[in-house]
């Protein structure tokens, strides 16, 4: 059994919808994250995939308490063996654990302060938590630059002088400054060129191998997720509908939505005259989702019972309750298509 670093149970994040007028009343809620559960082990990468707006980034923000969860538990298993529920603790009590949990943001252009030079950006966490001497700060800054593949001579430059890939490397240097145990990578390669994406993914893998960090890798690029992830969780309208080891999920999906995502991946050797199977219909409104399985309104395999079922994750093998799981009640009767080279 791998050492657990994070356990998420029944996490919810609802954004209130308020009426217009002098007296604003809450008339509903956008259920961005709607009762999800998963676990993350030490040294592994869990990919979190799904369409835009499914709640991936909101999940990451809730885990790091950049957003306050509406309900649920976020159990962080600390270095000394204790367990802290980040969802229930005050910000003062969470602060000592901040150094263990960091984020690499999606946009490398807006995530760096344009008025700070690189030295100030990547050493700010050190100043806050460790307060080293100026000489120690300089040494650490130069070491961090080398770790992410940038010349130490760039420390005096400002963000506007760098490309998107270089800026993202600076963001990664800031994230690893305190030797964290866990990093949320929120769409961290989505805005980069393909060749630069490969460089950043390789850098993340090298840093993980060196420091033993765990990643929650949020993305919609299934090829990048397959390359870097140990396991993958698939989200749809605020719900995790399937979770499994990467190879197992890509080759043997057990939920129709996962199959649809995999079949939508463009292939270089594909027949351009052959139309790909695409999803029909619109993504349900997260403020008013359909009954039963949220995906049944777009699923070509749906039956009447799908509109009435719960969406609990079902273990494919009852002997492995934390192995391959799906929320599709018809998974045993379906023969879904996977891909070997996404």
pLDDT at 269 (0 to 100): 61
pLDDT over 60 at 1, yes or no = no
d(CA 11, CA 5): 16
The rounded percent of the chain whose pLDDT value lies above 90 is 74
Separation CA 283–CA 74 (nearest Å): 27
CA distance 243 to 186: 19
Q: Which residue has the higher pLDDT, 227 or 281?
A: 227
Q: Give Dmax (Cα) for the chain.
A: 69
Of 137-146, 268-277, 283-292, the one with minimum mean pLDDT is 268-277
Query: Do 269 and 296 form a contact (C-beta atoms < 8 A)?
Result: no
Strand order from edge to edge, sheet including 325-326: 101-104, 182-186, 214-218, 45-49, 231-236, 239-245, 325-326, 314-315
User: Tens digits of per-residue pLDDT, 94-147?
Assistant: 998 999 999 999 888 899 999 999 999 999 999 999 888 999 999 999 999 999
Q: In what order do the strands lie in the sheet with 83-85?
A: 26-41, 4-18, 71-77, 83-85
pLDDT over threshold 90, residue 166: yes
Q: Is the pLDDT of residue 341 over 70?
A: no
Q: Which residue has the tokens 């045993």?
A: 332
pTM reported for the whole predicted model: 0.92
Q: What is the mean pLDDT of the segment spanning 42-52?
A: 93
Beta bridge partners of residue 75, listed in sequence order: 7, 85
Identify the band that residue 14 occupies on the pLDDT scale cut at 50, 70 and 90.
Answer: very high
Question: What is the full DSSP assignment across 16-51?
Answer: EEE--SSS--EEEEEEEEEEEEEEEETT-EEEEE-S
Q: Span 23-52, mean pLDDT? A: 92
């Amino acid at each position: 059994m791998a050492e657990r670093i994070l356990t998420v149970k029944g996490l919810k994040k609802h954004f209130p919808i308020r009426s217009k007028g002098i007296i604003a009343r809450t008339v509903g809620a956008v259920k961005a994250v709607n009762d999800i559960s998963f676990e993350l082990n030490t040294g592994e990468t869990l990919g979190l995939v799904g369409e835009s707006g499914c709640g991936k980034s909101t999940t990451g923000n809730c885990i790091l308490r950049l957003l306050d969860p509406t309900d649920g538990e976020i159990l962080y298993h600390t270095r000394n063996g204790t367990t802290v529920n980040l969802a229930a603790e005050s910000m003062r009590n969470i602060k000592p654990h901040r150094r263990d949990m960091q984020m690499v943001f999606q946009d490398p252009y807006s995530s760096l302060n344009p008025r700070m030079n690189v030295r100030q950006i990547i050493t700010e966490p050190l100043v806050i938590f460790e307060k080293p001497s100026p000489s120690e700060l300089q040494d650490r800054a130069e070491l961090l630059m080398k770790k992410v593949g940038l010349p130490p001579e760039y420390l005096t430059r400002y963000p506007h002088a760098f490309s998107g890939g270089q800026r993202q490397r600076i963001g990664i240097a800031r994230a690893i400054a305190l030797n964290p145990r866990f990093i949320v990578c929120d769409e961290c390669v989505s805005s980069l060129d393909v060749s630069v994406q490969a460089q950043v993914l390789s850098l993340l893998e090298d840093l993980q191998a060196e420091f033993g960090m765990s990643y929650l890798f949020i993305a919609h690029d299934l090829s990048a997720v397959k390359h870097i992830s140990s396991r993958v969780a698939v989200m749809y309208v605020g719900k995790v509908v399937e979770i499994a080891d990467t190879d197992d999920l890509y080759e043997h999906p057990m939920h129709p939505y996962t199959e649809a995502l995999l079949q939508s991946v463009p292939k270089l050797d594909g027949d351009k005259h052959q139309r790909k199977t695409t999803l029909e219909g619109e993504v349900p409104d997260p403020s008013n989702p359909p009954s039963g399985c949220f995906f049944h309104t777009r699923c070509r395999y749906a039956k009447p019972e799908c509109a009435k079922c719960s969406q609990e994750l079902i273990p494919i093998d009852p002997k492995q309750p934390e192995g391959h799981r799906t929320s599709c009640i018809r998974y045993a009767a379906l023969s879904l298509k996977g891909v070997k080279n996404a």
